[in-house]
């Protein structure tokens, strides 16, 4: 049986994200067909093949583990370890030929997020984190910024139009007024910018578990804070706020007003 040591699991998560990223690059900036799922979200052959590759690798190495993927759902639910896969986070970005999409690999152990891997293959950014072991960014230690005043902070979101349908427009506007600069460098890339000290706040009003699973350990192990909009550190609450930690309480206060 393959080792379930945390270091080995971390290294395997990195290999999954690396190999899936290489596969996506074969299709990036090429003429590929985009299909649409029942929820109207886009999907391509690259999404499907990247997830299938990761599933095959997991099944060969850890056949008793659960797997949850965006494209193919869950297999063997109830196992102690569950791999959570987003083969292309930011499919719309990918289809447009913009290099900010990511491959996300998260691992839960007994319901706790313990490993996260984020590969942005077209940009050459790679982050890997394991619980209690820190986060590496392209081989060096990732560290959130030390900005301690929200008025000096950079606020990120995936887009502004998504706020209103979830009754988040007013809280978002309060954060816009309180921060120095705002950008829509979104999806996983925004959380990477927080984890690597290049932004202070990233938020989304709607997230899936496969969007969050890799990001929580990456942000936490880089010294930041990752919660839902009420301050609960979870990948299951379908929303997210990530900060450098120093600003988190102030951000939560503003979104709760």
d(CA 31, CA 61): 34
Residue 190: φ, ψ to 5° = -60, -40
* Confidence band for 210, pLDDT divided at 50, 70 and 90: very high
The pLDDT, as a whole number, for residue 221 is 99
pTM of the model: 0.96
Strands 81-89 and 66-69: parallel
Query: What count of other Cβ atoms lies within 10 Å of the Cβ of residue 135?
Result: 24
Q: Are 48 and 69 in contact (CB under 8 A)?
A: no
Residue 105: φ, ψ to 5° = -130, 120
What digits encode the pLDDT tens for the residues 47-79?
Answer: 999 999 999 999 999 999 999 999 988 898 889
The pLDDT, as a whole number, for residue 77 is 87
The helix/strand/coil state of 198 is: coil
Mean pLDDT of the chain: 96
d(CA 177, CA 110): 41
The pLDDT, as a whole number, for residue 41 is 85
- Domains defined along the chain, listed by start: 6-141 (3.30.540.10), 150-256 (3.40.190.80)
Is the pLDDT assigned to residue 194 strictly greater than 70?
Answer: yes
Is the pLDDT assigned to residue 240 strictly greater than 90?
Answer: yes
d(CA 231, CA 133): 23
């Amino acid at each position: 049986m393959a080792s379930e040591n945390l270091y080995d699991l971390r290294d395997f998560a990195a290999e999954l994200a690396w190999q899936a990223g290489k596969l996506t690059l074969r299709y990036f900036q090429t003429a590929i067909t985009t299909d649409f799922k029942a929820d109207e979200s886009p999907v391509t052959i690259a999404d499907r093949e990247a997830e299938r590759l990761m599933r095959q690798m997991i099944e060969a190495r850890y056949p008793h583990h659960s797997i949850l993927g965006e494209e193919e759902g869950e297999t063997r639910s109830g196992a102690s370890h569950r791999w959570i896969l987003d083969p292309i986070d930011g499919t719309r970005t990918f289809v447009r030929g913009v290099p900010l999409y990511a491959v996300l690999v998260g691992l839960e152990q007994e319901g706790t997020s313990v490993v996260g891997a984020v590969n942005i293959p077209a940009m050459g950014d790679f982050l890997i984190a394991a619980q209690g072991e820190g986060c590496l960014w392209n081989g060096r230690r990732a560290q959130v910024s030390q900005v301690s005043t929200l008025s000096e902070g950079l606020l990120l979101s995936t887009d502004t139009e998504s706020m209103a349908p979830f009754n988040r427009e007013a809280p978002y506007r309060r954060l816009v007024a309180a921060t120095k600069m705002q950008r829509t460098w979104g999806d996983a890339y925004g959380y990477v910018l927080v984890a690597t000290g290049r932004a202070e706040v990233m938020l989304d009003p709607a997230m899936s578990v496969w969007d969050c699973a890799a990001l929580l350990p990456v942000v936490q192990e880089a010294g930041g804070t990752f919660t839902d909009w009420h301050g609960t550190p979870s990948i299951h609450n379908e929303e997210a706020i990530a900060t450098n930690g120093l600003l988190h309480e102030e951000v939560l206060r503003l979104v709760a007003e």
